[in-house]
Amino acid sequence: MSLRERLASGGFAVTAEISPPRGASTSKITETAASLRDWVDAVNVTDNQGSNVRLASWAGSLAVLEAGLEPVMQMTCRDRNRIALQSDLLGASALGIRNILVMTGDHPKFGDHPGARPVFDLDSVQLLWTLRTMRDQHVLLSGRKLDPAPDCFLGAVENPFAPPVPFRAERLGKKIAAGAQFVQTQFVFDVPAFGRWMAQVRDLGLHEQCGILAGVGAVRSVRALEYMRDHVPGVEVPDDVDRRLRAVPPGKQTAEGVKLAAEIIRQLGEIPGVAGVHLLVAGNEQAVPDILDEAGVGVSKEPGGTDGR
């Protein structure tokens, strides 16, 4: 199934992500995509993540597609204006790349070219609306006709834990109204807090309009957990998670992180309205099979099932 079909069927979807290399080669992407092909429905190809220059997302997405796995091409508003963004969608669609994940993007000051001028001609909500208009109304933002129009399945990102927390579900509603058909969230360590956000999402009926994929990551060390907690906005790490990792010898923390991720997946699968998980493992893609096997997510893509691979 495609990601679109998996979500439409009501099955438990699984996506992961790949960081393109800092170099002019797709060989590593092809290798990684092949290793994930039997485990996930689709894989994100990040777009200069963290404002750091890497191989273009469209090129990485094409390599993933050629490796037999469905890509999710990320598009950030940071680096390109509305002309380039619309052009990128047309090019992606022409090459068979259907899944597009829209985000505003980190400011260049946080990356490897802090003196670069940010664009931010559109924000993520405006870009979603623009791409949906191109697809559904067959027109550019300028009003000029498109022939043929792009075929795309639009996604967005959301952080359930960022302030102001009471309005995060409503913010998701704005993205869905603009065109988001699936959403991938920030890391989930505090499952009860995520459950409260999902209750708000269900109250608004948003889970019936958009596939909600909860973000899950494999923590490789206490140091990595501290970095996420201190430097990644909106990541909430409960004290019991911190204590659990610290109680394990350094040489076993990676394995414990896999167990923790699997437990979180099983818990998320019990929350009504959760359509699947997005594995935030860029740079640690080799952990995906272990996480899903430990979680019991197999061919049926159902958490806790008996078809583990």
Are 111 and 103 a contacting pair, CB within 8 Å? no
Are 59 and 26 a contacting pair, CB within 8 Å? yes
Are 113 and 51 a contacting pair, CB within 8 Å? yes
Q: Which residues of the chain have pLDDT under 50?
A: 299-301, 305-309
- What pLDDT sits at residue 199? 97
- What pLDDT sits at residue 30? 96
Q: Tens digits of per-residue pLDDT, 185-194?
A: 999 999 999 9
The domains located in the chain, with CATH, are 3-295 (3.20.20.220)
Q: How far apart are CA 53 and CA 49, in angstroms?
A: 8
Reference 277, options 1, 5, 7, 2; nearest CA is 7
Percent of the chain with pLDDT over 90: 82
pTM: 0.93
- What pLDDT sits at residue 271? 98
Tracing tokens 């834990």 back to the chain, one arrives at 161
- What pLDDT sits at residue 297? 86
- What pLDDT sits at residue 216? 96
